[in-house]
Structures are given as C-alpha cells and as structure tokens.
C-alpha cells in the first residue's frame, strides 16, 4: 500500500510539472493576442480617384475597399495621437472592377485601362511610416508597395490623422502617373476625349477598434 501511495505522489508531481511546462508554452501566444488590436474600416470611409480629360474633369469612387490594420497594445488610436507609432501593419485592398466613374461607358474604358480583367485587385501595403505630433492630431507619410495593373511600385503617400469620436480619421492624397504602371489612359469618342496621364488618388478613412 505504501508503495502504491509513493507511485501516486510521483505521478501527481510529474503531472503538475508537465502542466506548468504546457502553461509556459501557451501563455506567450495568449499574451500576444491580448496586446494586439485590430482597427476596422468604418462604413463612412471613402477612397476615390480624380482626373481630367481634354473635355472635363471626372471622379471615380472605389465602392468596395477593405483595410487590415493591426496595432500593438491597447488604445492604439489615442496613442497615435501622441506620436506613438502604435500601428504595426496596414494593408488596403479593392477590386479593380469596383472603381465607379458614374458613367457606364467611362467605367468600361477605365477598367480596361487599369487591366481589371488581368489584374483584378489593387492593393497598397505599408512597409514603414513617419509620424509627427501636430496641434490637431498627427501628420506623416506612408511608404509601401502599390500593386496596380500587374505592376508593383514603392510609393510614399502623405497623410494626416485625427481622432473623431474615438475613431482614427486618416486623410490624404497621392498624385499617380498611369504611365508609371505601364497603363494607357482611356480615350473615348474615337479619341476626341482623352484622359490625362496624371490622376490623384484621395482617401478619407475612419478606423475604429
């Protein structure tokens, strides 16, 4: 009987030891999860393209934009407003065919120009960013890769950020040359209307945890 009790005590001790090891292996992952915050794109967010042609100006809205923004720690928006680089990764993706210029003919020509069929996704992934505290929020620049029409280029986009009702309000604009991505600007009416090479991508985004 005494021998059986000794075996039970040894087994119990060993089980406790193994349980501690298992807890040690699991805890780092759990701890990382607790200190990672996702910022979700809010419905009021907007992204659009403005340009000009030989006849008039135009604007094309991106109707289906998805953003993945991860921050380290909690209260990321409030920390960003102090100049703390709380955001760790940013990815913005949209379907090429969801660029709506408000005119069926223009949509057809624009989607053909940006090679929507061959390259169905436009994506911007941030690789680094600068951040500076301002009187009403923060300002800085986002450097990353823009994939458009089958080409990928590294670009730097100026942006400003502010806190609006607890959400991160990010605005900015970037002048883009379609030729840089080996794209031919659309032309309509047998060439009588030609879209100019330079367009401006603008964004007004709301992100909230």
- Angle at the Cα of 203 from the Cα atoms of 152 and 184, rounded to 5 degrees: 45
pLDDT at position 105, please? 87
pLDDT at position 3, please? 46
- Taking the alpha carbons of 69, 72, 75, 81 in that order, is the dihedral positive or negative? negative
pLDDT at position 11, please? 44
pLDDT at position 101, please? 94
pLDDT at position 193, please? 82
Mind giving me the DSSP string for 119-136? --EEEEEEEEEEEEEETT
Mind giving me the DSSP string for 50-104? EEEBSS-EEEEEE---EEEEEEESS-HHHHHTTT---EEEEEEEEEGGGEE-SSH
Low-confidence stretches of the chain (pLDDT beneath 70): 1-35, 189-191
CB count, 10 Å around CB of 86? Answer: 22
On whether the CB atoms of residues 202 and 172 are closer than 8 A, the answer is: yes
The span from the CA of 185 to the CA of 199, in Å, is: 10
The span from the CA of 35 to the CA of 186, in Å, is: 47
The span from the CA of 36 to the CA of 74, in Å, is: 7
Torsion over CA of 136, 89, 100 and 191, rounded to 10 degrees? Answer: 100
DSSP conformation class of 48? E
pLDDT at position 24, please? 42
The token pair at 58 is: 């135009």
């Amino acid at each position: 009987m005494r021998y059986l009790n000794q075996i039970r005590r040894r087994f119990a001790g060993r089980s406790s030891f193994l349980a501690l090891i298992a807890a040690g292996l699991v805890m780092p992952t759990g701890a990382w999860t607790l200190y990672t915050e996702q910022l979700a794109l809010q419905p009021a967010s907007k992204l659009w393209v403005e340009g000009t042609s030989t006849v008039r100006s135009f604007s094309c809205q991106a109707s289906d934009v998805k953003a993945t923004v991860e921050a380290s720690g909690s209260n990321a928006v409030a920390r960003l407003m102090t100049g703390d680089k709380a955001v760790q990764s940013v990815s913005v993706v949209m379907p090429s065919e969801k660029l709506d210029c408000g005119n069926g003919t223009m949509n057809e020509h624009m989607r053909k120009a940006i090679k929507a069929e061959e390259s169905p996704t436009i994506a911007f992934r941030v690789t680094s960013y600068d951040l500076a505290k301002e009187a009403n929020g923060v300002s800085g620049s986002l450097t990353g890769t823009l994939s458009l029409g089958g080409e990928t280029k590294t670009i730097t986009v100026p942006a400003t950020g502010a806190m609006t009702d607890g959400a991160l309000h990010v605005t900015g604009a970037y002048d883009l040359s379609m030729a840089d991505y080996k794209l031919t600007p659309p032309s309509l009416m047998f060439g009588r209307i030609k879209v100019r090479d330079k367009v401006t991508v603008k964004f007004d985004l709301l992100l909230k945890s």
